[in-house]
Chains A and B, each alone.
Chain A
Amino acid sequence: MASRQQAGAAAPAGQRELLSAGDVARTIARIAHQIIEKTALDTGNDHVVLLGVPTRGAPLARRLGACIAEFSGVTVPTGVLDITLYRDDLRKQPNRPLEPSSLPAEGVDGALVVLVDDVLFSGRTVRSALDALRDQGRPRAVQLAVLVDRGHRELPIRADYVGKNVPTSRSEDVAVRLTETDGADSVLLRRQETPTAGRETR
């Protein structure tokens, strides 16, 4: 705890550190354990696939996969599912560049798919991901793992695995930073200039 307070004090004005680099690593490890337990992965009955939603869901899924392999000895296929073309708010903002989706070669038919994203907010990204997944095949079941759940859901969607629940106000912004995309691991809570009405940060 002391280290977190120290790190929190080092954060610039107007933002607060929710998770330090160490917390992020521990949280991912905990989610990995939960996935192993809940899917009974080590019994080998189920075909589990981890799909990350870009940008930061993709490295998170890879890290989760590495943790799961380390803890259970089972290698879980991971992939990337870009949902840009399935968003319901495309017309409300400038064009986004696409990120290529890459699914495991064996596909998702009959698999237990765990969608992985950094922040769960309105739930609209997850809805888009479910639509995108439907066009890729028919999984046996779909679960959701997120690093941070910040509330303010606009759709009947909940996560199966949550790293940290954070009560937030709409005028705040949860920024997840990962080494792969931002150079270092941390989760920050920031005040925002203009509140985003139901727009998730990606």
Chain B
Amino acid sequence: MIRHLLSAESLDADTATGVLDTADALKQTLLGREVRKLPTLRGRTVVTMFYENSTRTRVSFEVAGKWMSADVINVSATGSSTSKGESLRDTALTLSAAGADCVIVRHPASGAAHRLAGWLDEAGTQVVNAGDGMHEHPTQALLDAATLRERLGELTGRRVAIVGDLLHSRVARSNVHLLRTLGAEVVLVAPPTLVPSGVQHWGAEVRHELDPVLAGVDAVMMLRVQAERMHGGFFPSAREYSIAYGMNETRLGLLPEHAVVLHPGPMLRGMEIAPDVADSPRAAVNEQVRNGVHVRMAVLYHLLAGEEVAA
């Protein structure tokens, strides 16, 4: 039983598989139903606290909470007391005092979710990390794993390439940890300027050239080039990046027949992924979003449905 979901690194194989199996069961349960509403989390209050822009993650957490009958309340940095200068800690304690059972947080600072969990633990409020700076985004890794399981079956022995802006990517970090926990092999592909320091401890192979990697993988995960976190020249031009590391029709042809193309979104079409690849049946971008709702329902179920853990 997990108390907070702060990182994919802290998930063991049993817990992760448990969440993925629950997500799968929820998907089956809701399939083709007119009323997509379960009474499971009735009376529980979930607050999403987003200090960074987001469409997918926020919407899918909100839908997930609502489909489980929890009361979901959204707080964003603009339009809340944060813009008056209130600290993260005070905002969080306020939300907890106002009755939040679970706080889902996205924050530009790495480690924000951990700090929050420390502050809220005593009050019994549970924390889910929805992306903290360049650190982790565990529910994204879980929904990617759910999508890969659906397309490929069990992940043991599978080989997954993660391509692009590794330096700024919490998605990459979470995925490396989770995929390895689930028994898959990970190969990271990026220009040397976008490889984070310490990557040698991640347990994944690092390559700088994309084409030779493609023939031997079961899935390719393309990362968005995060211009908002880039202060300085990491590559000469967008066009040059796209030629060296973008997923296009030619590269799609180098992949094995069964291989899947993933993208966590938002996609920069023409930059890291060509439009016709993004819309091809080989890409699972919309499946990822669909699975995101079920995975987040499963996470809320595992965190909130069971016995209260003594604080």
Q: A99–B18 Cα gap in the complex (Å)?
A: 12
Contact with A along B33-57 (1 / 0, CB 8 A): 1110111100000000000000000
Residues of A close to B21: CB separation below 8 A: 97-98
Contact of B33 among A85, A98, A100, A135 (CB under 8 A): A135
Instruction: Verify B301–A95 contact, CB threshold 8 A.
Output: yes
Q: A72–B151 Cα gap in the complex (Å)?
A: 42
Instruction: Verify A90–B306 contact, CB threshold 8 A.
Output: yes
* Nearest Cβ on chain A to B171's Cβ, whole angstroms: 27
Q: A136–B34 Cα gap in the complex (Å)?
A: 8
Q: Please report which residues of chain A, range 106-155, place their CB below 8 angstroms from some CB of chain B when the two chains form the complex.
A: 131, 135-137
Contact of A101 among B1, B28, B37 (CB under 8 A): B28
Number of residues of chain B lying within 8 A (CB) of chain A:
23
Q: Please report which residues of chain A, range 55-92, place their CB below 8 angstroms from some CB of chain B when the two chains form the complex.
A: 82, 85-86, 90-92
* Nearest Cβ on chain B to A202's Cβ, whole angstroms: 16
A-B contact count (CB 8 A): 55
Contact of B37 among A95, A98, A135 (CB under 8 A): A135
Q: A137–B80 Cα gap in the complex (Å)?
A: 42
Instruction: Verify B25–A91 contact, CB threshold 8 A.
Output: no
Given A85-B38, A86-B39 in contact, is the A91-B308 Cβ separation under 8 Å? yes
For B69, give the chain A residue with the smallest CB separation: A85
Asked if B26 CB lies within 8 Å of chain A CBs, one says yes
Instruction: Verify A97–B33 contact, CB threshold 8 A.
Output: no
Asked if A102 CB lies within 8 Å of chain B CBs, one says yes
Residues of A close to B301: CB separation below 8 A: 85, 95, 98
Instruction: Verify B39–A98 contact, CB threshold 8 A.
Output: no
List 22 A–B pairs whose Cβ atoms lie within 8 Å, in order of A's numbering.
A82-B25, A85-B38, A85-B39, A85-B40, A85-B68, A86-B38, A86-B39, A86-B40, A90-B305, A91-B306, A93-B307, A94-B1, A95-B301, A95-B302, A95-B307, A98-B25, A99-B25, A100-B24, A101-B28, A131-B39, A135-B37, A136-B33
